[in-house]
Chains A and B, each alone.
Chain A
């Protein structure tokens, strides 16, 4: 230490003394998390106002992936717009295709043949499983568990192989389209799918052993980011986030589409105390509940796919004249249950073949809007746990 710093030492002491007279406060600091932070699942930027390890406020900034999807919808015919819906929630392309196709069909009064409906149910449920696998795996990564991610992606790869066999694409399918599906199932596909389901069902136990009931994982996620049922409804949260708050609500049961009313399946919610396997630290509406709803939903999706494969009716897979039709001067708003929640499409026609307005309600967009409300006075390390449990896909938030 030089002489100079020794001489300046008394001044520092005076400053410390002056601070000690007031309240003991550390300096508030703004921390910029994202847009390229690995645990923000895409280009999400969150500005955190922190005091030491505590986060006082978290303000999300979105829009980095805005691609004018709605404006494009006003310039293309509906069947040409299907590929753009793939790119909204790019982990659940099939469900997005289905949502937009249903809105257009309702507007035009188009009837999908039974085989087309069954194909849609099979593919949207397979895509739900694939999407939840990504969610599970990356949530484990956020919490420092690398291994479950590899297991989840191993099974997801098999689903993508099934998709590739049916439509040639592995991510942006454009397979379910206006009037039904774009192509019929290839030969032997049904047996391949059954094989996969038999294999996959045993693997869900692995995920639970690896991640769900892992002590460290439970400690990081239980009682963190609790959303009450009242708040969940007020902020219009949907999907596993709403069910994680203990509300047994599923659009496939309430407003069934594509024949969901004829399938036998349950709507799982996380019920602490209800069954013996749920850790006792867990409370309704915390991160762990939201996570576990997704695990339980995969079992239900497998049930639905099995029923659909068994009954797969012969006949047309796509309604005739489902391309280039004139849209009547009317408007519709249709929602479907996406893996992330309710995806809505508002479509307005004006008598021509091109819609006058296409509006998409992204479930991630609405689910993310509660972030500021639940990230108040939480630990810095809990913020990735909360963002991961909401499971946002930025392509759909920004559209």
Chain B
């Protein structure tokens, strides 16, 4: 199914589709965050779509619009005759946007177990909270890290646990 048809199918079924972008390098549908799990379930379970494979969740800080965007890249892997070479697949992407000062998106880790670690990563590095996630804690940074490093307004800490952290250009305390 072409991205246009998938978008039309989703628009007929859900009011939650806010926008669709089909031109450019990456076609996607913009979904309202509160309805995202229902749309996700439909994308996975509908036999015409069958998006059973969550490839990636990429979070983007849209500082100028005061928003965060999460882009979910999906794929379908046919399990009917797996031993034969699979030559076709469908691709689609969904964008869920949330406010910067109250960044909450419902989790889809119960729809795609692969989302578990991706959502933890987005939470860790971008500071988006995934409501309903079974184990939402930092994954790449250490547990006591302050702030979310991939935010555009993130300020690099000058010290961590008593260790001075200087940047190349601002050597506040040169030691060698």
A interface residues (Cβ-Cβ under 8 A, vs B): 62-63, 66, 68, 70-71, 106-107, 229-230, 233-236, 246-250, 253-255, 267, 269, 271, 330-333, 335, 342, 344, 346, 348, 356-357, 359, 361, 365-366, 369-370, 373, 398-399
Contacts and interface: CB of A to CB of B under 8 A. Distances in A.
Contacts of A330: 24-26
Contact of B55 (A63, A71, A342): A342
Interface string B116-147: 11100100010000000000001111100000
B170 to A, nearest CB: 15
Given A230-B79, A248-B82, A361 B55 contact: yes
Given A234-B114, A247-B82, A333 B141 contact: no
Contacts of A250: 85
A234 B25 contact: no
B25 A254 contact: no
B140 A236 contact: no
Contact of B85 (A107, A267, A359, A361): A267
B113 A235 contact: yes
Contacts of B93: 333
B56 A346 contact: yes
Contacts of B60: 348, 356-357
Given A229-B79, A254-B86, A369-B117, A236 B55 contact: yes
B88 to A, nearest CB: 7
A300 to B, nearest CB: 12
Interface string B51-91: 01111101111000000000101000101001111111100
Contacts of B118: 366
Among B56, B117, B142, which residue has the most Cβ atoms of chain A within 10 A? B56
Q: Which 7 A-B pairs have the closest CB atoms?
A: A236-B114, A332-B25, A361-B56, A346-B58, A359-B58, A63-B140, A369-B117
Nearest to B28: A331
Nearest to A236: B114
27 contacts: A63-B139, A63-B141, A66-B141, A68-B149, A107-B25, A234-B52, A234-B113, A236-B114, A246-B82, A247-B79, A247-B86, A248-B85, A249-B86, A267-B85, A330-B26, A331-B24, A333-B56, A342-B55, A344-B56, A357-B58, A357-B60, A357-B61, A359-B56, A361-B58, A365-B117, A366-B117, A370-B113
A246 B83 contact: yes
Contacts of A346: 56, 58, 71, 73
**Main DSSP-derived SS at the B contact region:** loop
B83 A271 contact: yes
Contacts of A253: 85-87
Contacts of A63: 138-142
A291 B83 CA distance: 17
Contact of B140 (A66, A267, A366, A369): A66
B112 A234 contact: yes
A258 B140 CA distance: 33
B25 A71 contact: no
A106 B93 CA distance: 17
Given A63-B140, A331-B26, 5 more contacts: A62-B139, A66-B140, A66-B141, A107-B25, A253-B86
B79 A236 contact: no
Contacts of B87: 253-254
Contacts of A373: 113
Given A62-B140, A247-B82, A249-B86, A233 B24 contact: no
A361 B24 CA distance: 21
B116 A369 contact: yes
Contacts of B24: 330-331
B158 interface: no
B53 A331 contact: no
B89 A248 contact: no
B150 interface: yes
Contact of A233 (B26, B77, B117, B150): B77
B26 A333 contact: yes
A136 to B, nearest CB: 24
B169 to A, nearest CB: 12
B79 A331 contact: no
A247 B89 CA distance: 13
Contact of A332 (B26, B83, B116): B26
B57 to A, nearest CB: 9
B134 to A, nearest CB: 11
